[in-house]
Amino acid sequence: MATLTSRATRWLAAFAIPCAVLASISPSDAHAAYPDKPIRIVVPFSPGGGTDLIARAMGMAMAQDLGQPVVIDNRPGAGTIIGTDNVAKSAPDGYTLVMATFAHAVNPSLQPKLPYETDKAFAPVVLVGRSPNVLVVRANSPYKSVQDVIHAAKARPGQISFASQGPGTSAHLAGELFKSLAGVDLNHIPYKGAGPAITDLLGGQVDLMFATASAVGNLLESGKLRALGVTTAQRSTSADLAKVPTIAESGVPGYVAESWYALFVPAGTPAPVIARLNAAAKKAVTAEAFRKRAESEGLIVSPGSPEELGRYVRGEEARWGKVVKDAKITLN
C-alpha cells in the first residue's frame, strides 16, 4: 500500500472528527439493500496527486453516509485509460466508480482506439468541482513570469520540458494549448500521476508543469514552487492564487483551460443506486470541512444532478475536440 503524503494526511485529518460524529448519529437502517458491501472508487492516477487526495477525502465522508467502506483503488497509466477501462468493464451495480477528470472528455478525440466507448460505457453520478490549472516552476527556477517561459522557449525550441500526470490529462492539454497559442515548442514529459511528476519538477528533472491547483496548493504555500499563471479566464478566488495573473492576460490571448473532477459508474447501473451515490457525494463535498479545504486550494465545489454532469461533459468533449483538431494536437 502506498504511503500517504503529508498533504494527504492533512486532507484526511480534516474529515476524521466530522466523520466520527456522523458515524455516531447514522440511522439504524444504514445497511439498507444498497449498499451491502464495500464500494470501490478507481483513481486512474498514482497516489499523492490532486485526484487521489480528493477521492480519499470524499470516500471517507461518503462511507459514513453509505454505511459501508469506500476503498480507493489507484490504477494509473495510459492517460487514465487503464483505470477507466477497469470501471467500464465492471458490473453495473453501484459498487465500482471512477473519479474521472478532464481526460475523460478529451481522450475520445486524442485516442482513436479506446477500449471502450466513453458516451456509452458510463453513467454520470456527480460533478465534484472545477479548478484552474496553474503554471508552476520550482522556487529556484530562472523563470519569473509567463513571458520568461515564452522567451526562453523561443530561444531554445524543444529544450524546455513540461510535466503532466499523463497523456491527455488537463496538465498535458493545457501545455499543448499553450504551445499552440504562444507559438513555442515545449517538450512534454508524461508521468503516471501528479505525484511523481511534481517530484521530478521539484528535483529539477523537468522545468515546469501546468498542474492542478489541488495538487500543488501546499507546495505553493510552503514556497517550494512558484506560480506564474492560472489557466482559467478569470483569476482564482483562492487566497493563495488571487494575485497570480491568468495566462491570457500574461500575453497569450484566448488561452482558457480548467480541470475538473467527477464520479461515473458503469452504464446500466440502476437509477436508484445512482441517486443514492449522488446524494452521498453531494453531502460529502458540501460538508464545511471539505468545502473550506477544497476552496482554499482553488477547487470550486459545484455538485449537481447526474443530468447536469452529463451535459457539462458533452460540452467539454465538443470544445476540446475542436481544440485538438484545430491545433493538430497528437500524443506522438
Separation CA 207–CA 143 (nearest Å) = 9
- Domains defined along the chain, listed by start: 6-131+259-324 (3.40.190.150), 133-258 (3.40.190.10)
Mean pLDDT of the chain, nearest integer: 88
Measured in whole angstroms, the distance separating CA 247 from the mean position of its chain's CA atoms is 19
Q: Is 143 helix (H, G, I), strand (E, B) or coil?
A: coil
pLDDT of residue 297: 65
- CA distances (Å), 245 to each of 116, 227, 253, in order? 39, 9, 13
pLDDT band at 224 (very low <50, low <70, confident <90, very high): very high
| pLDDT given at position 2 | 45
- The DSSP string of 200-257 is HHHHTSSSEEEEEHHHHHHHHHHTSEEEEEE-SSS---STTTTTSPBTTTTT-TT---
**pLDDT of 31:** 39
| pLDDT at res. 192 | 85
Residues 141-159, mean pLDDT to the nearest whole number: 97
Average pLDDT over residues 103-115: 91
Residue 116 predicted with pLDDT over 50:
yes
Phi, psi of 121 (to 5 degrees): -90, -15
Over the stretch 225-276, which tens digit does the pLDDT of each residue have? 999 999 998 888 777 788 999 999 999 999 999 889 999 999 999 999 999 9
Stronger pLDDT, 33 or 225, i.e. the higher one:
225
Which region among 10-19, 108-117, 204-213 has the lowest average model confidence (pLDDT)? 10-19
pTM of structure = 0.77
pLDDT tens by residue, 44-98: 998 988 889 899 999 999 999 999 999 999 999 888 999 999 999 999 999 999 9
Question: pLDDT tens-digit profile of 172-223?
Answer: 889 989 998 999 999 999 998 888 999 999 999 999 999 988 788 889 989 9
Q: Return the percent helix, strand and coil in the chain, to nearest 5.
A: 45, 20, 35
Report residue 17 CA to chain centroid gap: 26
